[in-house]
């Protein structure tokens, strides 16, 4: 079946540190891949996406590259800020009409100044 | 546009009670979905709809009913609440073309005692 595996959290970093959150997937066919972010007390927001192999999604200094050969979509940021503290979810898209998402369990990031 | 709205924000039920979680979107999106979010579990798909009059089950549909009589509304019904349904519920909508980005509502926090 289809599934997403994320690294366990929490991840605790100092401001300006480098961030990597690992994400690997299992899927039939060629899914689209997403990273969503959830700030405390809020719903999920799309952070970035990639729809085919070797695509790189980027937004707000975050990047992730769709690696078909390793079935991975790792999230990276070169210099994190306190405001990046949130829960990050990796997801893939399935469904007849491309509507449903399968999520990983989420990784909590805490950045201190 | 209000985007995706959910009511209520918080709800406490006793075991066996029924209730309906409301979800509405004003973006004319064809696709709508319901997820539940539990600690350490990420988001899991309950039911989804690809258009008015069409619904289908997701990963964890038991104990929940949905209907889609209009494009705008996608209510989620709990027929007989159980403590295992204590969770945060998110509704999402997606356009049928273009980026297929999912837009999430702010969530409903439900406690069943």
What digits encode the pLDDT tens for the residues A36-92? 999 988 889 999 999 889 999 999 999 999 999 999 999 999 999 999 999 999 999
The two three-digit tokens of residue A89, written as one number: 């979810």
Taking only the tens place, the pLDDT of each residue in B60-103 is: 999 999 999 999 999 999 999 999 999 999 999 988 777 678 89
Question: Are B58 and A100 a contacting pair at CB < 8 A?
Answer: yes
Q: Does the distance separating the beta carbons of A97 and B96 come in below 8 Å? A: yes
Q: Is the pLDDT of residue A16 over 70?
A: yes
To the nearest whole Å, the CA of B12 is away from the closest chain A CA by 18
- Name which of A5, A43, A52 to mutate to probe chain B: the one with the most chain B Cβ atoms within 10 A of its Cβ: A43
Query: Is the pLDDT score of A100 beyond 90?
Result: no
Interface contact flag, B101 A100, Cβ < 8 Å: no
Count A/B contacts: CB-CB distance under 8 Å: 56
Establish if A1 touches chain B: CB-CB under 8 angstroms. Answer: no
The pLDDT value recorded for residue A97 is: 53
State pLDDT tens for residues B12-58: 999 999 999 999 999 999 999 999 999 878 899 999 998 999 999 98
Interface test with A, best of B7, B90, B100 (most A CBs within 10 A): B100
Which structure tokens are listed for B66? 């949905």
CB atoms < 10 A from the CB of A45, how many?
15
Q: Residues of B near A (CB-CB distance < 8 A)?
A: 4, 30-31, 33, 35, 40-45, 48, 50, 58-59, 90, 92, 94, 96, 99-102, 104-107
Q: Are the Cβ atoms of B42 and A43 closer than 8 angstroms?
A: no
SS (H, E, C) A26-94: ECCCCCCEEEEEECCCCCEEEEEEECCCCCEEEECCEEEECECCCCECCEEECCCCHHHCEEEEEEEEE
Residue A102 and residue B45: Cβ atoms within 8 Å? yes
Cβ distance B43 to A97 less than 8 Å, yes or no, reads no
Lookup: tokens for B40: 């350490």
B1, pLDDT greater than 80: no
pLDDT at A98 over 60: no
Please tell me the predicted confidence (pLDDT) of residue B95.
85
What distance in Å separates the CA atoms of residue B104 and residue A43, rounded to the nearest whole number?
Answer: 6
Residues A108 and A11: beta-carbon distance below 8 Å: yes
Find residues 17-76 of chain A whose CB sits inside 8 Å of chain B. 32, 42-46, 49
């Amino acid at each position: 079946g289809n599934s997403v595996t994320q690294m366990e959290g929490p991840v605790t970093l100092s401001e300006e540190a480098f961030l990597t959150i690992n994400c690997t997937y299992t899927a039939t066919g060629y899914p689209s891949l997403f990273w969503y972010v959830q700030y405390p007390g809020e719903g999920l927001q799309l952070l970035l996406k990639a729809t085919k192999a070797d695509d790189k999604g980027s937004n707000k200094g975050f990047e992730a590259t769709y690696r078909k050969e390793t079935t991975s979509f790792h999230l990276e940021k070169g210099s994190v800020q306190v405001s990046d503290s949130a829960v990050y979810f990796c997801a893939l898209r399935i469904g007849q009409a491309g509507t449903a998402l399968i999520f990983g369990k989420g990784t909590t990031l805490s950045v201190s100044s | 546009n209000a985007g995706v709205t959910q009511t209520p924000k918080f709800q406490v039920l006793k075991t066996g009670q029924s209730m309906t979680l409301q979800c509405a979107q004003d973006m004319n999106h064809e696709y709508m979905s319901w997820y539940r979010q539990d600690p350490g579990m990420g988001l899991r798909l309950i039911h989804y709809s690809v258009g008015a009059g069409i619904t289908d089950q997701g990963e964890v549909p038991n104990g929940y009913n949905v209907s889609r009589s209009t494009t705008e509304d996608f209510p989620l019904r709990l027929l007989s609440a159980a403590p295992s349904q204590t969770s945060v519920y998110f509704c999402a909508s997606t356009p049928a073309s273009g980026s297929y980005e999912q837009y999430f509502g702010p969530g409903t926090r439900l406690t069943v005692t």
